[in-house]
Amino acid sequence: MNDFPDPAACPRPESRTFGVEEEFLLVDEDTAKPVAVAESSLARTSARCGTSDPSLTLEVKQEQLEAVSPVCSTFDELAAAVRRGRFRADEAARSMGARAVALATSINRHATHTVPARRYLDMGERFGLTLKEQLTCGLHIHVAVASPEEGVAVLDRIRTWLPVLLALSANSPYWQGTDSGYESFRYQAWNRWPTAGPCELFGSAAAYRRHIESMLATGVLLDEGMMYFDARLSSRHPTVEVRIADVCLEASHTVAIAALVRALVETAAGQWRAGMPAPQVSAANLRLAGWQASRYGVGGELVHPLRQKPCSAAEAVGALLDHVRPALRPSGDEVRVGAELAHILADGTGSRRQRKVMRHTGSRKAVVADAIERTHLAAPPPAEMRTDVPPLAAVPD
């Protein structure tokens, strides 16, 4: 870990910085299939336009690009950065006759092409079909922490809430041309990696470091970058990195989920400072909760984050909102996040939208065309001015 600020300067809830990384599919509008133009797209555009602009980076596959937001302090700042990142990714894709679309998996059967970096080629040799088929797009949310100790305390205390974030983001119903029956099949495909999924409690930064080193000592992994936990300490930034979510079809969903994660981090850090213990839930139970969220999203029962019993999606989401509400208030995000969560519960996630378009049109091309449009929607009106969605009611724990 590096570049951590003085713990005495721990950020207040309204100023704890955050940012996102969104991965996008690059598709041909005529065929609706992924196209391998990532390197050539980046060659035609600058990696960064300015210090406050999102940057574009390659991922493991030529059929995807990643937009990385700058460090943000407010909901509105992040919302603008997410929209700009989506525009920049699409601008780069258009330079090669493609489009950037926020789909966590492709609706069509497809081949993939690995970016010819040495590390990715070595991963392909080591992990075979897992790497060959790994064309999935996720949402990674970074939130500042004051020290590795605070970061690990946060990881221990947010882990039971992460499956709810997966349910709220679910945007990958299709896999290799087939309806998987899942809301997030990306999460199923991603869990083929040997380190993916939830972890047991760590307890301290030293224990976290020992866990990483013991995994590396097995020789199975190429490097520390392959620690694909649902949430981890970033090895490059002084942040907690939450990696469980699908890339969201709509930018407003991305921003609301990122605000939730920032509030989760602040809530967990406060609990740690107050001496409150982390919930004693096994990684095995959390894996079951993640599977349930992957299967049903917000359209079915989830595992309650506190009781570890079946509950409705609305109850699980309500419990999450209640849990972080005190951390959302100082930043002014409570109303907007609550309204966006109510919107997701009422209208569904990207998976529901994809299936709805498929039912109505029977056309894969129509699904992708609609997804391109939704990816690049203009900013919605402020949540406090919306009249179509009631605020999410508080749900008792």
Closest by alpha carbon to 306, among 291, 295, 296, 316? 316
Question: Can you give the pLDDT at residue 237?
Answer: 92
Whose structure tokens read 């079915």?
300
Question: Can you give the pLDDT at residue 342?
Answer: 97
Task: State the Cα–Cα distance between residues 246 and 201, nearest whole angstrom.
Answer: 24
Question: Can you give the pLDDT at residue 142?
Answer: 98
Question: Can you give the pLDDT at residue 46?
Answer: 66
Task: State the Cα–Cα distance between residues 32 and 308, nearest whole angstrom.
Answer: 40
Residue by residue, pLDDT tens for the chain (397 residues) are 344 444 334 445 457 999 999 999 999 999 999 999 999 999 988 655 555 789 999 999 999 999 999 999 999 999 999 999 999 999 999 999 999 999 999 999 989 999 999 999 999 999 999 999 999 999 999 999 999 999 999 999 999 999 999 999 999 999 999 999 999 999 999 999 999 999 999 999 999 999 999 999 999 999 999 999 999 999 889 999 999 999 999 999 999 999 999 999 999 999 999 999 999 999 999 999 999 999 999 999 999 999 999 999 999 999 999 999 999 999 889 999 999 999 999 999 999 999 999 999 999 999 999 999 999 986 444 443 333 434 444 332 2
Sequence-distant (6+) residues with CB within 8 A of 147 are: 4, 7, 205
Domains, the chain, ranges and CATH? Answer: 7-378 (3.30.590.20)
Q: What are phi and psi of 191, to 5 degrees?
A: -75, 5
Question: Can you give the pLDDT at residue 154?
Answer: 98
Task: State the Cα–Cα distance between residues 284 and 308, nearest whole angstrom.
Answer: 12
- Count of beta carbons in the 10 Å neighbourhood of residue 57: 15
Q: How many residues does the chain have?
A: 397
- Residue-wise over 148-175: b if at least 16 C-beta within 10 A, else e? bbbbbbbbbbbbbbbbbbbbbbbbbbbb
The DSSP output letter for 181 is S
- Beta-bridge partner residues of 332: none
Sequence letter at residue 365 = K
C-alpha distance from residue 32 to each of 98, 193, 241 (Å)? 10, 28, 32
